[in-house]
Structure 1
Amino acid sequence: MAVRTAVVVGGGIAGLAAAVALDRRGWRVTVLERAPAFTDVGAGLSLWPNALHALDALGLGDAVAALGAVQTGGGVRSRGGRWLSRTRNAEVIRRFGWPLTVVHRADLVRTLADALPASALRSGCEVVKVRPDGVVAHGGRFFAADLVVGADGVRSVVRGTLPRHTGCTAWRAITPPLELDTPGAVLWGRGERIGFTALPGNRFYLFAAATAPATTAASAAAAGLRHRFAEWPDPIPRLLASVDDSDVLCHDVYDVPPLDSYVRGNAVLLGDAAHAMDPMLGQGACQALEDAVTLAVCLDGADLATALARYDRERRPRTQAVAHRAARLGAVARWRSPVATALRDLAAWSVPAGVTLRSMAPVLSWRPPRA
Structure 2
Amino acid sequence: MEREQGRSAIVVGAGIGGLAAAIGLQRAGWTVTLLERAPQLREAGAGWSFAPNALRAADALGVGTEFRACSVPTEAGATMRLPGGEYLIRFQPGDDPPLLANHRADLQRVLARQVPADGVRTGAEVTGVRQDDDGVTVTCGDGRQMRADLLVGADGIHSTVRRRVWPDAPQPVFQRILCWRGVSAPGSVWPVSGFQTWARGARFGAHPLTDERVFWFLTVRQEEPGAHFADDLGEVAARTHGWHEPIPALLAATPPETVLRHDIYDLDPLPSYAKGRIALLGDAAHAMTPFLAQGACQALEDAVVLAAEAAGRAPVPHVLNRYDQVRRPRTQQVQRMARADPKLSLSTSAATYRLMTAMTRLASSGVARRKSARLWNWTPPALPTEVTR
Matching residue's letter, 2:118: S
Secondary structure in 2 aligned to 1:363?
helix
Q: In structure 1, how many angstroms separate the alpha carbons of the residues matched to 2:276 and 2:231?
A: 41
TM-score when normalising by structure 1: 0.93
Q: In structure 2, how many angstroms separate the alpha carbons of the residues matched to 1:296 and 1:222?
A: 42
| CA RMSD, Structure 1 to Structure 2 (Å) | 1.8
What is the CA-CA distance between 1:166 and the residue it aligns to?
1.0
For the Cα contact (< 8 Å) 1:8–1:149, is it kept in 2? Answer: yes
Count of residue pairs brought into register by the alignment: 365
For the Cα contact (< 8 Å) 2:11–2:154, is it kept in 1? Answer: yes
Structure 1 298/118 Cα, relative in aligned 2: closer, same or farther at 3 Å? same
Matching residue's letter, 1:309: N
Q: In structure 2, how many angstroms separate the alpha carbons of the residues matched to 1:128 and 1:220?
A: 36
**Residues 97-138 of structure 1, C-alpha deviations (whole Å, 9 max, x = no match):** xx5211111111111111011111111111122234422121
What is the CA-CA distance between 1:370 and the residue it aligns to?
4.4
Structure 1 219/211 Cα, relative in aligned 2: closer, same or farther at 3 Å? farther
Partner of residue 137 from structure 1, selected from 139, 149, 163: 139
Residue 18 of structure 1: aligned partner: 21
Q: In structure 1, how many angstroms separate the alpha carbons of the residues matched to 2:215 and 2:264?
A: 18
Q: In structure 2, how many angstroms separate the alpha carbons of the residues matched to 1:219 and 1:258?
A: 36
Secondary structure in 2 aligned to 1:30?
strand
Q: In structure 1, how many angstroms separate the alpha carbons of the residues matched to 2:145 and 2:27?
A: 25
Partner of residue 363 from structure 2, selected from 332, 341, 351: 351
Q: Map 1:204-353; keep pairs closer than 5 Å.
A: 204-212=214-222, 213-216=224-227, 221-301=232-312, 302-353=314-365
**Residues 226-259 of structure 1, C-alpha deviations (whole Å, 9 max, x = no match):** 2222332221111111111101011111101100
Residue 360 of structure 1: aligned partner: 372
Structure 1 124/230 Cα, relative in aligned 2: closer, same or farther at 3 Å? farther
Matching residue's letter, 2:120: L
Q: In structure 1, how many angstroms separate the alpha carbons of the residues matched to 2:257 and 2:359?
A: 38
Structure 1 110/166 Cα, relative in aligned 2: closer, same or farther at 3 Å? same
For the Cα contact (< 8 Å) 2:38–2:122, is it kept in 1? Answer: yes
Secondary structure in 1 aligned to 2:245?
coil
For the Cα contact (< 8 Å) 2:233–2:251, is it kept in 1? Answer: no
Residue 96 of structure 1: aligned partner: none
Which range moves more in the overlay, 42-51 or 27-36? 42-51
**Residues 146-174 of structure 1, C-alpha deviations (whole Å, 9 max, x = no match):** 11100000100111142111111111111
What is the CA-CA distance between 1:199 and the residue it aligns to?
0.9
What is the CA-CA distance between 1:181 and the residue it aligns to?
5.0
Secondary structure in 2 aligned to 1:7?
strand
Matching residue's letter, 1:186: Q
What is the CA-CA distance between 1:219 and the residue it aligns to?
5.8
For the Cα contact (< 8 Å) 2:276–2:320, is it kept in 1? Answer: no
Which range moves more in the overlay, 124-133 or 303-312? 124-133
Q: Map 1:71-110; keep pairs closer than 5 Å.
A: 71=74, 74-88=78-92, 90-93=94-97, 99-110=98-109
Which range moves more in the overlay, 303-312 or 280-289? 303-312
For the Cα contact (< 8 Å) 1:170–1:251, is it kept in 2? Answer: yes
Q: In structure 2, how many angstroms separate the alpha carbons of the residues matched to 1:357 and 1:217?
A: 38
Secondary structure in 1 aligned to 2:207?
strand
Residue 198 of structure 1: aligned partner: 208
* Percent of matched pairs sharing the same residue: 42
Secondary structure in 1 aligned to 2:182?
strand
Which range moves more in the overlay, 128-137 or 165-174? 128-137
Q: In structure 2, how many angstroms separate the alpha carbons of the residues matched to 1:128 and 1:236?
A: 44
What is the CA-CA distance between 1:13 and the residue it aligns to?
0.2
TM-score when normalising by structure 2: 0.89
**Residues 244-292 of structure 1, C-alpha deviations (whole Å, 9 max, x = no match):** 1101011111101100100122110111101111111111111100000
Q: In structure 1, how many angstroms separate the alpha carbons of the residues matched to 2:358 and 2:148?
A: 55
Q: In structure 2, how many angstroms separate the alpha carbons of the residues matched to 1:104 and 1:37?
A: 18
Q: In structure 1, how many angstroms separate the alpha carbons of the residues matched to 2:334 and 2:326?
A: 13
Matching residue's letter, 2:214: F
Residue 176 of structure 2: aligned partner: 167
Q: In structure 2, how many angstroms separate the alpha carbons of the residues matched to 1:347 and 1:359?
A: 14
